[in-house]
Chains A and B, each alone.
Chain A
């Protein structure tokens, strides 16, 4: 018995080959190739005593516990079973050869010498992934099989993970991450029943300033109970720090506007159930900011929009005669931008009526408020006068009336700021001499 080492190729020949083989000989060869390969054997030379049913000298080939045949004879012999160019292929990585020679090789009293045989074998790849190729140990791949020379490996469908046995696949939904602006997510196998004992965690993460909206599709089936809410399987949704809710049953929830750029969906299932699961379409849009509202009637929002979203802005001005104020500071302009958290980067300012302060003092004169409102605010009107009869009013442009302008200064009807002057009146004494006696 001659075992061959696990080479990829080899030679097997009859005893004494190429010299005639001896009588009364039984020799076996146990051909082994590495795992993942099969044995392919060809006879290059085959010269044995022919006999009916190869009862005298023969070569017997077996592999995988199967008899691949008994062969004897010569190429041109009438009797026997010459292998000719036949290829012998094992299923596994072993093949056995047995050579048997009887006590003599005489034909009609004449001794005939037969050379024997010379065979070559080679290892050829076993495609473990083909059905029917029996694999000695271990199950086939549960999902996908990938053959390569000398071996094979398994892989799983999306959402499944190859287990440590390298053959079975188990649902893997513990850390699913979605970062695209929109997409679908669903329970494993949807719309087929979802597996039991799941702890799926789906995370949607998009750019700050975007808000995620969830839309549940039909069918929606999660194990439920009429009296107790979601006792078996639960679909929990969390947006940022806020818990949106826990869902089950057969009625899909309404669309959820999360107002968050971060959503986590946890799907927990118990040890049984035949519900078909759920599917969500998520979409994103820029987060909304509250509609800006003026603080007073004098505030004007330029070109107001129906909706303001992240990166939108609004500009505020005031009516004529009002100053734009933020705290105690007068502003030349105001813009506020919608931030990624849905708040405005500056609060709405206010508009304060322009105040011109007290009108300039007129030397040797005074002023009176003409307008109804006797303050110094925008559109207040004063009229200057002189201490008559000793002074008379001399104006610059003919106007003695000044109005508090939007610029915060007192201006006459011609837009001039310079106030009039009180000039002396000459030659008009209060008590001129009066001659009585004539």
Chain B
């Protein structure tokens, strides 16, 4: 998290740390699901030998942590074993320029007991896309890098939703491995090249949340997905509202 603050205990109780192919984030849904980015499960740009891992194999090696804002204390609480992994079928780990479908679900083997430090985030109402209006203030949280240093505490930063047009313009001329990055309708951008508040490596998979002014509930509108550099431009987020059917199809009654 760039330009953020330490998250007080219990302020982002849905925040998960996932260690699959490196440190990443996630958000608790219900009492046994973790919403995260697909690329934290199957990173892009892997060599051929690493791509052959199955979901079952990844699930077995995945480590999930919940319940604290201090990393060392988080680890002490213990890993939450994973039962299954679900990666969106649109996600293509081989296409480094296109993060479309960058969404995944992790099912924990055992339900977690909710409390002040472990609480799920809400999903958006499918009929209400107001949270994606530019200027809507969202909050990103994560254990990711700041100033090239991996955080030892959970941080957060207020990051407003940005104009899609402006983000598209900003992307003009920028390359990812000499190719134009793809900004799809299943994504949205937030932040600003000037504000200095952004997400960064290690924050992927974490939720960008907004507080519903009516219900006062925190809603996960986006998943930290990709960007070019950290803190000097826009960040790009998976648009959760577009994947509600897929999520509900997997999570079911939960």
Contact A427 B7 (CB under 8 A): no
A417-438: contact bitstring with B at CB < 8 Å (1 yes, 0 no)? Answer: 0000001111111111101000
Contact A431 B217 (CB under 8 A): no
Please, how many angstroms separate the alpha-carbon atoms of A391 and B30 in the complex? 10
Q: Which residues of A contact B9 (CB under 8 A)?
A: 431
B70 to chain A, nearest CB (A): 15
Q: How many residues of B contact A (CB 8 A)?
A: 31
Q: Does B22 contact A (CB under 8 A)?
A: no
Interface SS, A side: loop
Known: A429-B11, A431-B11. A424 touches B114 (CB 8 A): yes
Counting chain A CB atoms within 10 Å of each CB, which of B8, B115, B119 scores highest? B119
Q: Which residues of B contact A387 (CB under 8 A)?
A: 114
Q: Does A88 contact B (CB under 8 A)?
A: no
Q: Which residues of B contact A429 (CB under 8 A)?
A: 10-13, 116, 119, 218
Interface SS, B side: loop
Counting chain A CB atoms within 10 Å of each CB, which of B114, B121, B211 scores highest? B114
Q: Does B156 contact A (CB under 8 A)?
A: yes
Known: A364-B114, A390-B114, A424-B30. A431 touches B121 (CB 8 A): no
Contact A427 B113 (CB under 8 A): no
For chain A, residues 382 to 416, give those with C-beta under 8 angstroms from any C-beta of chain B: 387, 390-391
Contact A428 B216 (CB under 8 A): yes
B141 to chain A, nearest CB (A): 9
Please, how many angstroms separate the alpha-carbon atoms of A27 and B21 in the complex? 168
Known: A424-B30, A432-B211. A391 touches B10 (CB 8 A): no
Please, how many angstroms separate the alpha-carbon atoms of A431 and B158 in the complex? 16
Contact B116 A427 (CB under 8 A): no
Known: A431-B10, A431-B11, A432-B11. A426 touches B116 (CB 8 A): no
Contact A390 B212 (CB under 8 A): no
Contact B116 A428 (CB under 8 A): no
Q: Does B219 contact A (CB under 8 A)?
A: yes
For chain B, residues 102 to 156, give those with C-beta under 8 angstroms from any C-beta of chain A: 113-116, 119-123, 139, 156
Q: Which residues of B contact A431 (CB under 8 A)?
A: 8-11, 116
| Set B113, B115, B119, B158: member contacting A426, Cβ < 8 A | B119
Contact B11 A428 (CB under 8 A): no
Contact B121 A426 (CB under 8 A): yes
| Set A364, A391, A426, A430: member contacting B217, Cβ < 8 A | A426
B4-27: contact bitstring with A at CB < 8 Å (1 yes, 0 no)? Answer: 000111111110000000000000
Q: Does B96 contact A (CB under 8 A)?
A: no
Which residues of B are at the interface with A, using a C-beta cutoff of 8 A?
7-14, 29-31, 113-116, 119-123, 139, 156, 158, 209, 211-212, 215-219
Which residues of A are at the interface with B, using a C-beta cutoff of 8 A?
364, 387, 390-391, 423-433, 435
8 contacts between A and B (CB under 8 A): A426-B120, A426-B123, A427-B122, A427-B212, A428-B216, A429-B119, A431-B10, A433-B156
For the A-B complex with A429-B218, A433-B7, A433-B11 known, give 9 more contacts whose Cβ atoms are closer than 8 Å.
A387-B114, A390-B115, A425-B119, A425-B120, A427-B122, A427-B219, A428-B216, A430-B119, A432-B11
